[in-house]
A and B are shown apart, each in its own frame.
Chain A
Amino acid sequence: MADIMIQSLLLSFMLLGIHAYFGLEIVRRGIIFTDIAVAQLSAAGLALSLLLFNEPSQLLSLAFALLGSLLVALSQRKREYSEAFIGLLYALGFSSVVLVLSRSPKGMEEFLRLTASDILFVPREEILKTGLLFLAFGVLLYLRRFIKNEVLREIHFFSLFALTVTTSVKLVGVLVVFSMLVAPALVSLIFGRGLIFAWIYGAILNTAGTLTSFWLDLPTGFFLVFIHAFVSALLFLAKVSLRV
Chain B
Amino acid sequence: MRFLVLLVLLVSVSLADVRVVVTYPWIGDLVRKIGGDRVSIHVIAKGTEDPHFVVPKPSHIAKLRRADLLIIQGAYLEVGFLPPLLRQANNLKIQPGREGFLDLSNYVQLIEKPEVVSRAMGDVHPEGNPHYHLDPYNIPLLAEAVKEKLCKIDPDGCPLYEKNFEEFASRWRSKLIEWNREFSTLKGVRVIAYHSLFNYLLKRYGIVLAGTLEPLPGIPPTRSHIEKLLRLENVKIILVGVYNERRTARFLAERIGAKVVLLPHDVGSLPEVRDLFSLFDEILRRLKDG
A30 contacts B by Cβ under 8 Å: no
Minimal Cβ-Cβ distance residue in B for A119 = B56
A27 contacts B by Cβ under 8 Å: no
Knowing A4-B61, A107-B216, A108-B217, the reply to whether A102 touches B56 (Cβ < 8 A) is no
Q: Which residues of A contact B220 (CB under 8 A)?
A: 98, 102
Q: Which residues of B contact A105 (CB under 8 A)?
A: 121-124, 216
A120 near B216: Cβ-Cβ < 8 Å = no
A1 contacts B by Cβ under 8 Å: yes
B52 contacts A by Cβ under 8 Å: yes
Knowing A54-B124, A105-B122, A110-B124, the reply to whether A116 touches B80 (Cβ < 8 A) is yes
Stretch at the interface among A79-87, A133-141, A159-167, A218-226: A218-226
Q: How far is the CA of A55 from the CA of B122 in the complex (A)?
A: 9
A49 contacts B by Cβ under 8 Å: no
A113 near B119: Cβ-Cβ < 8 Å = no
Q: Is the interface of A mostly helix, strand, loop or mixed?
A: helix
A112 contacts B by Cβ under 8 Å: yes
- Interface digits, A195-213 against B, CB 8 Å rule (1 contact, 0 not)? 0000000000000000001
Q: How many residues of B contact A (CB 8 A)?
A: 33
Q: Which residues of B contact A122 (CB under 8 A)?
A: 84
Q: Which residues of A contact B121 (CB under 8 A)?
A: 105
Knowing A4-B88, A121-B88, the reply to whether A104 touches B55 (Cβ < 8 A) is no
Say how far A98's CB is from chain B's closest CB, in angstroms: 7
B120 near A109: Cβ-Cβ < 8 Å = no
Say how far B229's CB is from chain A's closest CB, in angstroms: 16
Say how far A144's CB is from chain B's closest CB, in angstroms: 35
Q: Report which of B61, B81, B125 forms a contact with A116, defined as CB distance below 8 A.
A: B81
Minimal Cβ-Cβ distance residue in A for B125 = A106
Q: Which residues of A contact B55 (CB under 8 A)?
A: 118, 219, 222
Q: How many residues of A contact B (CB 8 A)?
A: 31
B85 near A121: Cβ-Cβ < 8 Å = yes
Q: Which residues of A contact B53 (CB under 8 A)?
A: 112, 116
Knowing A1-B58, A113-B80, the reply to whether A123 touches B87 (Cβ < 8 A) is yes
Q: Which residues of A contact B226 (CB under 8 A)?
A: none
Q: Which residues of A contact B59 (CB under 8 A)?
A: 217
Say how far A74's CB is from chain B's closest CB, in angstroms: 32
Q: How far is the CA of A213 from the CA of B52 in the complex (A)?
A: 23
Q: How far is the CA of A118 from the CA of B88 in the complex (A)?
A: 12
B282 contacts A by Cβ under 8 Å: no
Q: Report which of B60, B62, B119, B218 forms a contact with A109, defined as CB distance below 8 A.
A: B218
A118 near B58: Cβ-Cβ < 8 Å = no
A55 near B119: Cβ-Cβ < 8 Å = yes
B56 near A118: Cβ-Cβ < 8 Å = yes
Q: Which residues of A contact B81 (CB under 8 A)?
A: 116
Q: How far is the CA of A220 from the CA of B62 in the complex (A)?
A: 14
A155 contacts B by Cβ under 8 Å: no
A121 near B56: Cβ-Cβ < 8 Å = yes
Q: How far is the CA of A11 from the CA of B115 in the complex (A)?
A: 44
Q: Which residues of A contact B257 (CB under 8 A)?
A: none
Q: How far is the CA of A112 from the CA of B87 in the complex (A)?
A: 20
Most A Cβ at <10 Å: residue of B56, B121, B215: B56
Minimal Cβ-Cβ distance residue in B for A51 = B122
Q: How far is the CA of A54 from the CA of B60 in the complex (A)?
A: 32
B58 near A123: Cβ-Cβ < 8 Å = no
- Interface digits, B39-58 against A, CB 8 Å rule (1 contact, 0 not)? 00000000000001101111
Q: How far is the CA of A217 from the CA of B122 in the complex (A)?
A: 39
B52 near A113: Cβ-Cβ < 8 Å = yes
B65 contacts A by Cβ under 8 Å: yes
B57 near A217: Cβ-Cβ < 8 Å = yes
Q: Which residues of B contact A177 (CB under 8 A)?
A: none
B148 contacts A by Cβ under 8 Å: no
B230 contacts A by Cβ under 8 Å: no
Q: Which residues of B contact A185 (CB under 8 A)?
A: none
12 A-B contacts (beta carbon < 8 Å): A55-B119, A98-B219, A102-B222, A105-B122, A106-B216, A107-B214, A107-B217, A112-B218, A118-B56, A120-B57, A120-B61, A122-B84
* Closest 8 pairs between A and B when the two form their complex, measured CB to CB: A108-B218, A105-B122, A107-B216, A121-B84, A109-B217, A113-B80, A107-B217, A217-B59
